[in-house]
Amino acid sequence: MAPLVILGFGYTGRWIYRLAHSPSRRILASSRRPDHHLTDIPPPDRLRFELTDESSWPALPQDADLIWTFPATPLDQVQAFARHLCREGRKLVVLGSTSAYDRQDHPPATLPPWIDEASPIDSALPRVQGEEYLRTHHGAIILRVAGIYGPHRNPVEWIRWGRVGPTNKFVNLIHVEDLAHLCLQALQYGLPGTCYNISDGHPRRWAEICHEVSARWGVVSPRQDNADETGKRILNHRSLTQLRYTLRYPDLYQALQAMSGHPATAPAQDQHPSG
């Protein structure tokens, strides 16, 4: 099998690396500072890569498949990199966001419409421009990912620390283990140039989640605002059927219960959900 390079090695990238290991495939991890950020990765499997530093690009194997885990910006560098390395036959999976979909105002008392992969996107967003270039010119498979949670990235702690409160806004979530598996399924079964929504398929209002977390774990958000924003409701049917995947964590509350043994820590800035 061709080598697999994980471009960007944050929270999701580490899960992909962990799940992708196989005796028949070499898995390479990349970082701007591999000696600092990849100390738990064997040195032969570390790559220095930075999108804005063209001198780092030749280190990537010419025949490798790629999973791109960070925002595809700036556009000019995305285009230059793709022309340099995204050749025919190479598989490219790009992690986008459900924030790509146009935001439409709806009365707070009404349900927002369901959003599938044919719904309008906001082409003014820089990362959407990069994703669409890679999709239309280089056959990239785009995963539009809901809010990511998992061990040490726990919605209970988002509530505890006031990052979210009991509003009527809908949120769409995906467990990081399911996301990592779906990245690998996309490499195997995804259609070039196709987008897939990645979520657990159960949008919930933050008010419902806050109520359930309070009842189960006694955690109450210090944030009591009542925002009028309605949020989105994301459909995930295409990803589960075309990528041939069954979610391991379809139920948020069962997943949170399984995570309850993990220590509580104040969340970093990138731990706020975007779905």
SS (H, E, C) 190-213: CCCCCEEEECCCCCEEHHHHHHHH
**What is the CATH number for 145?**
3.40.50.720
Nearest to 243 by CA among 194, 174, 201, 203: 194
User: 201 lies in which domain range?
Assistant: 71-259
Half-sphere exposure in the Cβ direction for 130 (13 Å, CA)? 24
Q: Can you give the pLDDT at residue 269?
A: 42
pTM of the full predicted structure? 0.93
**27 inside domain:** no
Q: Does 215 fall in a domain?
A: yes
| pLDDT the model gives residue 271 | 53
Q: Take residue 167 and report the two structure tokens written for it.
A: 């509003």
Q: Is residue 175 part of a domain?
A: yes
Q: By CB neighbour count within 10 A (0-12 exposed, 13-18 middle, 19+ buried), where does 76 fall?
A: exposed
Position 69: which residue type?
T
Q: What's residue 103's pLDDT? A: 72
Is residue 171 one of the residues assigned to a domain?
A: yes
Q: Looking at the 3D structure of the chain, how many domains does it have? A: 1
Does the residue 4 lie in any domain?
no
Taken as a whole, the chain contains a residue count of 275
pLDDT for 108 equals 61
Per-residue pLDDT in tens (0 to 9) along the chain, 275 residues: 899 999 999 999 999 999 998 888 999 999 999 999 999 999 999 999 999 999 999 999 989 999 999 999 999 999 999 998 887 888 999 999 999 998 766 666 678 899 999 999 999 999 999 999 999 999 999 999 999 999 999 999 999 999 999 998 999 999 999 999 999 999 999 999 999 999 999 999 999 999 999 999 999 999 876 667 789 999 999 999 999 999 999 999 999 999 986 434 334 444 556 66
In a domain, 148, yes or no: yes
**Conformation bin of residue 186: beta by default, left when phi > 0, alpha when psi is -120 to 50:** alpha
CA–CA separation, 182 and 188 (whole Å):
10
Q: State the Cα–Cα distance between residues 192 and 93, nearest whole angstrom.
A: 9
| Four-residue CA torsion sign, 26, 31, 35, 37 | negative
Q: How would you class 183 by CB atoms within 10 Å of its CB: exposed for 0-12, middle for 13-18, buried for 19 or more?
A: buried
CB atoms within 10 A of CB 258: 13
pLDDT of residue 161: 95
Q: Would you say residue 78 lies in a domain?
A: yes
Q: Which residues contact 78 (CB under 8 A, 6 or more apart)?
A: 51, 72, 130, 133, 134
In a domain, 22, yes or no: no
pLDDT at 11: 96
Whole-number pLDDT of residue 264: 40
pLDDT on residue 223:
87
pLDDT of residue 106: 61
